[in-house]
Structure 1
Amino acid sequence: MAKSNAPLNPRTTSFEFSGIPGALGITFGLPLVCVVLNQMIRPDYHITGFFSNFDVAELWNHIKPLKWYMTNRELWTYYLCWFGSLAILDVVLPGPVMEGVELRDGTKLRYKINGIALCSLLSSVLAVRWKLTGGQLPELQYLYEHQTDFCIIVVIFSFIMSVFLYMASFFPLTGENGTGTKERILSVSGNTGNVIYDWFIGRELNPRVGPLDLKMFCELRPGLLLWCLINISCLHHYYLETGKINNAILFVTLAQGFYVFDGVLNEEGVLTMMDITTDGFGYMLTFGDLALVPFTYTLQARYLTVSPITLTKGYLAFLTGIMALGYYIFHSANKQKSDFRHGKLPHLESMDTKRGTKLLCDGWWGMSQHMNYFGDWLISLSWCLATGFQTPLTYYYSLYFATLLFHRQQRDEHLCKIKYGDDWKRYEEKVPYKIIPYVY
């Protein structure tokens, strides 16, 4: 039952991304970026100084007709097995159950936290396959050789899945007694009534198939783990070709692998993120989680495979230091915020609000409103710097991530102004910097 007389699903009156034009631009533009970036990292394409040699027509000649991808049983079988197996493991593997934030109807969804069990199982499978194949691992070679093909397959899958999510959001949920029905909780930003925009931004807040929460699953499983697997395939391919381990590829693979597994192993932290608590699950998040992450965040490892460089010990220590600093800021800031919410840091300065809650304005959160974003960005920079300065292509991730964090900060600020009113103005006077202390 709803907690107040306000409608459970208020109509959305404002549009993000400039409305329909922005939604359509991202829907068709970002997949194109994904494919082009993947095509640009090939041994037969000159990527050093690529701005002066950029040839879209030449790149597109290597792309097969759309019908080929739609009807390719082999590629679809591999990807659907990957997606489906992870979904089954997400449901059946053991782990503690935690509650998410309180929803508008006063309920809390339950989530199984089994990242440790999943990572242990996948690592064991990879180790067994290494032993059985004598280190050849043909499945990793297949993944390396068909990355662009898989990219297009996943883009198509994301489109289809988001159509399913949009259509399913109009059907009421079955009640707990199995006979009644109840209204689905929609996203506050995805209930405009416009088909294209709501499909893009996400109409339902937490779509589920049985016990599987699709949004959290896609956020932490198929795309993130495929990112890690593609990096491993690059390292593996280089080793098979040369019989050596390149330290730049190894650094990127280990650093990004640590980042991925840290996210999966600490998945309970996602329960309070904007992606889970506020955003609907539509094409924007589906494509971002499943396609954009694994097929553009792997550019560093892929580039170093075709244009390897060797890092000096001093430069390697420098990169490790940047990542360690970013990781420390990111995690300690998030932990400080979590501890404060649970009343563990009463000595830190905070500000009372009319809502009856407190805003932390001390420690890391006295330095900037999103100090964790700054730490996260430093991590991304360390990976890009590992590719040297031969091409700006490999710095895509850090530039994109900065844009993403900047946009997320603006969205969060907009929601906080609505939520806290004049209290937010007082908070901004205490903590004036948005992300980077003394800069922005």
Structure 2
Amino acid sequence: MKPSKVTLLNPRTNEYEFLGPIGASLMITVLPGILYLLHLGCTPKGCPSLELVKNLPTPSYFISLFTLDNFFQLFDLHAFLIYIAYLLYLVVSWYLLPGRWIQGTTLRDGNKLLYKENGFKSLVITIGGMLAIILFKGSDSVLFISEKFIGLMTASVLVSYTLAICVYLASFRKGYVLLALGGNSGNVIYDFMIGRELNPRIGWFDIKYFVELRVGIFAWVILNITMAAKQYDDLGDLTIGMFLVILFQGWYAVDSAYNESAVLTTMDITTDGFGWMLSFGNISWLGFVYGLQTRYLAMHPVHLSWLQTALIVCIQSVGYTIFRSANNEKNLFRNDPGDVRVKHLKYITTDAGSRLIISGWWGRARHINYLGDWIMSWAWCLPCGFDNIFPYFYILYFAILLIHRELRDEEKCRRKYGKDWTRYCEIVRWRIIPGIY
């Protein structure tokens, strides 16, 4: 009996990533714990210190975090309702705000999905609305967000798990469903974690695309503005460090929303299914971990010298230049190789018909944009000073994330291009950091 077209398009996943079901189980259970450890462990009285990391926290330390006061912060009905209202606001904004419809990449079934691009408008309105509220009603008008921070974080975790469960169950519905090549192993825990369906949708509403560039990123910006308002309310002023972090991270978020269509060529959209990894990662982790620095500075202000400020601005400028220039170069080349800005680039053509750039930014390293991303992470953390290791968690996490992502991408490209990828790697030798790695 010949296999059906659906079976051919959705072959069984035979190889695991992330250490398979065991790794998936650890991620699902451990990462939320780290999220709570970071925030319950950092209060105005103090944050996790280097000594705690050296000596390893004891079980009694973890138990001490879950006080009665923290318990009521964890499960705050009012915070949960606020978070649901926030999600509804994002959905309504997506639906009502005008935006152009753009095509994604060609899927392996030959289809091209349409995506509505209006994230930049939505983010500008969101930022403008918050600033207007603070301007006319005072900084204390948004402090309820910082006061309910832990409750809002719990709400985001509950939403991320619920959404992941729903899309996993929906992937078994009757009819044609295009699955991710890496998420059809048959193991419930692993497929739930990594994502089974490639593009879960409700009509024209693409869930993965919406979560990727809205929920966590917008929350990150809102929480940062709130933490700045808290510092201003407490001190009567903003420190230079807080201003720099707000500016750098806000610019990064606005830049991501402005270049919204660029996400359609990333691994998250083209390759990975939508499961717990992307749901929790983009909703809870991004929204509440990426802003560690502003929360720290709101509780523990740091005053920078002008020399320190200038150095941090230089680091941010270098990182952003590499990150944005490299990404723009790649996107321009993919969309129109004859564009005057990229037609000078050298490339090799693979048997699959793809063109791999071997000059310009991408001739320096195969993932040169990751280098720019990581350099910027230092500029976001340095304004916090060196009294505590807490705000520097992001640098370590981000390095691990980028290296692991690079390894995953390398493996997928090796399978896709075969000998052509080997030839490409011989020409572009370095992975992320030219001359080092």
TM norm structure 2: 0.93
Distance 1:194 1:221, change over 3 A: same
Distance 1:135 1:267, change over 3 A: same
1:238 partner SS:
helix
Match of 1:113 among 114, 117, 130: 117
Distance 1:113 1:202, change over 3 A: same
Match of 1:251 among 238, 244, 257: 244
Query: Alignment identity in percent?
Result: 38
Residue by residue, what CA displacement relative to the aligned partner does 1:340-367 show, whole Å, maximum 9, x if unpaired?
2221333322112111222111111111
Residue in 1 aligned with 2:205?
Answer: 212
1:359 partner SS:
strand
Letter in structure 1 aligned against 2:254 = F
TM-superposed deviation, 1:270: 0.4
TM-superposed deviation, 1:255: 0.9
Residue in 1 aligned with 2:67?
Answer: 61
CA contact (8 A) 2:181 2:271 kept: yes
TM-superposed deviation, 1:386: 1.4
Q: How does 1:56-205 map to 2 (within 5 A)?
A: 56-61=62-67, 72-137=76-141, 140-172=142-174, 182-205=175-198
Deviates more, 1:233-242 or 1:337-346: 337-346
Residue in 2 aligned with 1:374?
Answer: 371
1:101 partner SS:
coil
Letter in structure 2 aligned against 1:259 = Y
TM-superposed deviation, 1:297: 1.2
CA distance in 2, matches of 1:53, 1:185: 45
Residue in 2 aligned with 1:422?
Answer: 419
TM-superposed deviation, 1:210: 2.2
Residue in 2 aligned with 1:32?
Answer: 33
More helix by share: 2
TM-superposed deviation, 1:48: 4.4
CA distance in 2, matches of 1:382, 1:417: 34
CA contact (8 A) 1:49 1:390 kept: no
TM-superposed deviation, 1:153: 2.0
Distance 1:42 1:276, change over 3 A: same
Give ranges in structure 1 of 5+ residues lacking alignment.
Answer: 173-181
Residue in 2 aligned with 1:179?
Answer: none
TM-superposed deviation, 1:136: 2.7
| Aligned-residue RMSD, C-alpha | 1.9
Letter in structure 1 aligned against 2:210 = F
2:9 partner SS:
coil
TM-superposed deviation, 1:165: 0.6
CA distance in 2, matches of 1:63, 1:36: 15
CA contact (8 A) 2:374 2:399 kept: yes
Q: How does 1:205-244 map to 2 (within 5 A)?
A: 205-244=198-237
CA distance in 2, matches of 1:274, 1:89: 26
CA contact (8 A) 1:38 1:147 kept: no
CA distance in 2, matches of 1:48, 1:226: 27
TM-superposed deviation, 1:82: 0.4
Residue in 2 aligned with 1:175?
Answer: none
Distance 1:12 1:48, change over 3 A: closer
CA contact (8 A) 1:50 1:391 kept: no
1:17 partner SS:
coil
Residue by residue, what CA displacement relative to the aligned partner does 1:50-100 show, whole Å, maximum 9, x if unpaired?
51695222212256559x956x43122111110121012112210111100
CA distance in 2, matches of 1:439, 1:412: 19
CA distance in 2, matches of 1:402, 1:287: 19
CA distance in 1, matches of 2:21, 2:345: 44
Residue in 2 aligned with 1:320?
Answer: 313
Letter in structure 2 aligned against 1:10 = P
Residue in 1 aligned with 2:406?
Answer: 409
TM-superposed deviation, 1:400: 0.6
Q: Are positions 1:350 and 2:327 aligned together? A: no
Letter in structure 1 aligned against 2:62 = V
CA distance in 2, matches of 1:85, 1:14: 40
Match of 1:389 among 386, 391, 399: 386
Give ranges in structure 2 of 5+ residues lacking alignment.
Answer: none
Q: Are positions 1:329 and 2:322 aligned together? A: yes
Letter in structure 1 aligned against 2:79 = L
TM-superposed deviation, 1:333: 0.7
TM-superposed deviation, 1:271: 0.6
Distance 1:46 1:392, change over 3 A: closer
CA contact (8 A) 1:368 1:436 kept: yes
Residue by residue, what CA displacement relative to the aligned partner does 1:121-147 show, whole Å, maximum 9, x if unpaired?
21332233224424431xx21111121
2:384 partner SS:
coil
CA distance in 2, matches of 1:162, 1:200: 8
CA contact (8 A) 1:87 1:212 kept: no
1:268 partner SS:
helix
Residue by residue, what CA displacement relative to the aligned partner does 1:184-231 show, whole Å, maximum 9, x if unpaired?
111111011111111111001111122221111111111111111111
CA contact (8 A) 2:180 2:198 kept: yes
Letter in structure 1 aligned against 2:165 = V
Q: How many residues align?
A: 424
